[in-house]
Structure 1
Amino acid sequence: MGLLDGKVAVVTGAAQGIGLEIARTFVREGAKVVLADVNDEAGAKAESELGGPDVVRYLRCDVRDGAAVEAAVDAAEATFGPLGVFVNNAGMTRDSTMRKMSEQDFDDVIAVHLKGAWNGTRVAANRMREYGAGAIVNISSISGKVGLLGQTNYSAAKAGIVGLTKAAAKEVAFKNVRVNAVQPGLIRTPMTEAMPERIWEQKMADIPMARAGEPGEVASVVLFLASDMSSYMTGAVVEVTGGRQM
């Protein structure tokens, strides 16, 4: 018996990176999963890799568009059944100091992370209220807790996701819908490994466990929050950072 046997899940930004690892973990634990992303090539590859259309479907979805998110959930339910889990993971970076950052770079990051998470939480919660159960997991970041240099847009968006999570959790708890957040720290992905070595070493120096995290270590915590193992948790923010910034 898997922890998500019989569950239908939607994971945004799931074509690669942490989102793909979350989807892989969900499938392993018995869920049927829709991968919602805008990277068609990576999405098709992920669908095939994770077991094909009987258990995983890739759907193109721009999370900035509420109608697109609604359509993705409609498709998931038409294909697999009632929605049980929704993970708001889609993201992007446009790092720059505030002095050099353009308004467009600020707006784009806020739209994908914060508005995207609001769209996903809103659509998912509306469905789950009808079913009397459900779990929503929002991916924030340690950057939303402490603020990181060159990330006024990203830090603001990720801090906003924490506020969104707590407010939404209060609105839907009486319907047995839970909303929680995860704040990863330095996780080893192609994006982070592309950092200049100097920046990587600076970040490593702040981690008491003296190593970067792996995507699977984030996915395991998301699984916990998505499953009945966390049935009495809502509005919580769980750090997965190796002790960084504790």
Structure 2
Amino acid sequence: MRLKFPQFLVALLIVGTLILGGCSTQQNASNASSTSAATSTATETSSKTSTEATSVSQTTSESIPGMNDLPRLEGKATVVMTVNGAPITIEVDGTNAPITAGNFVDLVQKGVYDGSVFHRVVRDPQPFVVQGGDPQSKDPSVPANRLGTGGYIDPKTKNERYIPLEIKPKGAAEPIYGKTITQPPALNHKQGAVAMARSQQPNSASSQFYFALADLGFLDGNYAVFGNVTSGFEVVNKIKQGDRIESAKVTQGAENLKTPG
């Protein structure tokens, strides 16, 4: 049975836990100063990227600087993630979210998620999300209060890789980048959805992701869904804070990943 949130509980959870925030310490501070980021249109502009809503041809142009330097998934792929000895199968949808899906598959292939911790699990007062993907969590010496502030550092540039907010409206030919939308999205927050965590700034997602433990329609259009759990949701449902991802492997569709250069 899928659960749906009463709106007052939703607002309370977001205000109280900021569960989808934080790709850097500075961005977390931005989240703390504005608690309505997930339920209203984000309009704050990143210092590095524009948040103007724009659709973009995947081959001829870019709406956010640096987009053409990011991996893309042209089609679908399957990722099997092992947690507590059990598999979670994820269908990654590059048809509707090529950059977000491409980023995830690329990080899986790089082993970024292997050994990382699920640092935030929210089930009370009702099932909400399981969030992980902070590379810092591999290091047991990193304080628990820092988990949720890290992202993928590209070893070539020595900088954190950020990806733009990418949401494709239902029926649209291409995604919209850099801005939340009010139209129904092609990929929604149904139970088992997999999406990218970010701070209040739309283009701040890096490596952190979350599983939706219930239907979370109030997040639609605000966060980028890029896939869904096709089997093993019972494993997701048992994840506890501090559990580690033993491994994550691309089992199908690796050939659909296109990387620059």
Report the TM-score when normalising by structure 2.
0.28
Which structure features the higher share of strand residues?
A: 2
Which structure features the higher share of helix residues?
A: 1
Higher relative contact order (CA closer than 8 Å, sequence separation 6+) = 2
